[in-house]
Every structure is written in structure tokens, then in C-alpha cells.
Homo-oligomer: A and B are copies of this chain.
Amino acid sequence: MSAQTQIFFASDNGSPVPPQVIRALEEANQGFAMGYGGDPLTASVVAQLRNLFEAPEAEVFLVGLGTAANALALSSLCQPFQTVFCTPEAHIHMDECNAPEFYTGGAKLTLAGQGDKMSATQLRTALEGEEIRGVHGPQRGPVSITNVTEAGNLYSLSEIREICDVAHDFGLPVHLDGARFANACVALGCSPAEMTWKSGVDVAVFGGTKNGLMGVEAVLFFDPAKARDFALRRKRGAQLYSKHRYLAAQMSAYLAGDLWHDLAMQANAAGAQLRAGLEARGIPLRNRDQANLVFFDLPRAQHRALMDLGVIYHFWGAEDGPADEVVTGRLVCDWSADRTRVDAFFAALDRVLG
């Protein structure tokens, strides 16, 4: 099946990047530039990010992958004898092949909350659970949350605030995995500052890769003191790009005219259309909140039938399980998902539901 006829909802890493990104690379590809971030475009992007986040003192770093952004951020916040508190479904726990453990030098990830979210109360319980063993147990370390969560839900600003308050009660910093930062911002209708330091977040990843860039993430330390060794850890962790201007160029395009916001709006809008259409057809949804991810239940046979019709996405569990077993599928809307793609999905679905 050709790309043209694909109804692609498999991931937000599968679509092309917007033309603005290519254009920015072309424009940056002029003249000489000092390497390793010493170029003026990088300086400009750092200034723009401080502006966007209303954080003139923030330390800002670019890296090329979300894995690196999160693992490096945590390594600056966490001693190897400590434990990072995250949810059972946190990407850093489930899907990084132990990168956080590697970058922190062997810290532990301790699970708080259920599924993809923790409440402030659940966090407190988890934190208190680590209290009573002196030097024997791992020591409490940073708290990490993800927004949009891995299961397509959202932390509200007040939920973030409450979590940060608990963490700070224990003297612990909070890290925000923002692989889908823009989608969360759009869904919450808030500013980047509101979703981060104004709610108590200490270090945030402002992800670009899942929202239209080839591969750039910004790490922002709102308290510069916490960033003290990040630059060295980035180099040692093989994430200091020599031709840094090409990272900066992408991020520059992403910031220009709030492209990041528009792309996420488009992805979220497609998500909302999918959600509405599934609900109208009485198909059970698995995530409560709405951003660019929709989790829905169908019998395995119908998932397979959809795929045979050119819809590309993942469903959970064994591919070859019982035909009538109901399993959850995940639809991811990238920035390029539009009405046409959504309509094509429902045309296929209606044929399957028959």
C-alpha cells in the first residue's frame, strides 16, 4: 500500500515534518558557524525559549532525542543512591531500555500512582514508603510526571501544582516529561509557564520531535543552580552536537509564529474528531481526557479488519490472539492529521462495523 493511501495513526513519529522545518534548515545552511552551540542561532533560540517560558533566568539546552532529554535531566537532579518517583506506565520506566538508570549511574525508578498518573496523595504515600530504612533503602529523589500522559490523559494545572507541593514538602525537585508538551498546553489552554514553573515544575522538557521536528527537544531548568552540571553530562552522554545550528534551526522554526502551538492544535483537533466519531458509534474509549491520543476498544478481528483496509495503528496484546477478544487500540494524531485522514478512518471503520 502506498503512503498516499495510508490512514496513518500509528505514532507521532511517522509523518513528514512541516515545510517550515525544511526551510529553516536551508536558511541555517549559510556561511560558517562555530560548533557545539557557539553559533548565534542557538543563542537566539535560547533567548526565545526563555521568552516563551517567561523565565529569563532559565538554563536552556537542546538535545536530539526525548530519551536523552529526560535521562540527562534526571541525571542532573538525582544521585545514584536515590530513587525517581514516576508512574507505572511512565515512558522513562517502560520504554527507555534503562536509559534513566544508565544516565543516573544506577538510580532506581519507584512507582507511584496507578497506570499513567499519580495524584498528590499517591505521591505522598510513595514518598512516605521510602522513609523508614535509613541508609538501607534508596533515598528519595526527583518526581517525574508526563503531560500529555503516555495513556492520553492530562494533568490539570492544579494537579501539577499539588504534586509539586508534595514533592517540595520533601525537598524534592519535579521533572516534567514533555514529549507531548505542546499538545498538553493546547488541551489545557494554558501557557508554557503556567504548565511548568508557575505550577511548581523545576525542570521541563519542551518536546519538538513528536510535534513536527526531525529530532529536537529543549530542556529547561527554571532554577539555574540545578543545571550546574548538565552541560558536562550532555557532552559525556554524547548529546552535544557539533553542528548545533541544525538543532537550533529546527527549534527556531518551531517557535516562529508559535508554530508549535498550531501543530499541536491541528493534532488535537484530529484527536477530538476521532473521539467524537468513536463515541457516536458507541465504541468504548479508554482515556478520559482529550489531546492527540485516543485509546479505544474493539474485538481483535475488527482491529485486524481495519488494518486490512489501510489503517495503521497499534493495538495491545498478541497480534494473533482470539478474534473476538476485545483489546485496546491506540490512535495517535500527528500534526499532519486532518479531516480527510479522520474521514478515511471512519469510512474504514464503518465498513468493518458493517
Chain A residues packing against B (C-beta within 8 Å): 2-4, 6, 8, 10-11, 13-17, 22, 25-26, 29-36, 64-68, 71-72, 79-83, 94-99, 101-109, 132-133, 135-139, 209-210, 214-215, 229, 231-243, 246, 312, 317
The closest CB in chain B to the CB of A240 belongs to B135
A172 to B: closest C-beta gap in Å: 16
Chain B hits for A235, CB < 8 A: 67, 81, 96-97, 99, 135-136
Bound-state CA distance A16–B101 (Å) is 37
Q: Could you show 15 A-B contacts with beta carbons less than 8 Å apart? A: A16-B29, A64-B241, A65-B238, A71-B238, A80-B102, A81-B229, A81-B233, A82-B98, A94-B136, A95-B136, A99-B236, A102-B106, A136-B235, A214-B246, A238-B239
Chain B hits for A232, CB < 8 A: 79, 81, 97, 135, 139
Chain B hits for A4, CB < 8 A: 31
Chain B hits for A108, CB < 8 A: 98, 101, 109
Main secondary structure of the interface of A (DSSP, over half): loop
A331 to B: closest C-beta gap in Å: 14
A328 to B: closest C-beta gap in Å: 13
A81 touches B98 (CB 8 A): yes
Q: Which of A8, A17, A214, A233 has the most CB of B within 10 A?
A: A214
Bound-state CA distance A83–B98 (Å) is 9
B31 touches A16 (CB 8 A): yes
Bound-state CA distance A34–B109 (Å) is 29
Bound-state CA distance A246–B242 (Å) is 17
A209 touches B242 (CB 8 A): yes
Top 3 A-B residue pairs of the complex, sorted by shortest distance between their CB atoms:
A3-B31, A68-B238, A101-B106
Chain B hits for A66, CB < 8 A: 242
A86 to B: closest C-beta gap in Å: 12
B97 touches A136 (CB 8 A): yes
Bound-state CA distance A16–B4 (Å) is 33
Per a CB cutoff under 8 Å, which of B32, B132, B237, B240 touches A6?
A: B32
Known contacts A65-B242, A108-B109, A236-B102; is-contact A95 B137 (Cβ 8 Å) = yes
A32 touches B17 (CB 8 A): no
A80 to B: closest C-beta gap in Å: 6
Q: Which of A6, A94, A96 has the most CB of B within 10 A?
A: A96
Chain B hits for A214, CB < 8 A: 25, 243, 246
B25 touches A80 (CB 8 A): no
Bound-state CA distance A202–B209 (Å) is 34
B139 touches A97 (CB 8 A): yes
Per a CB cutoff under 8 Å, which of B14, B32, B99 touches A34?
A: B14
Bound-state CA distance A34–B13 (Å) is 8
The closest CB in chain B to the CB of A241 belongs to B215
Chain B hits for A139, CB < 8 A: 97, 232
Bound-state CA distance A138–B90 (Å) is 13
A6 to B: closest C-beta gap in Å: 5
Per a CB cutoff under 8 Å, which of B83, B104, B239 touches A65?
A: B239
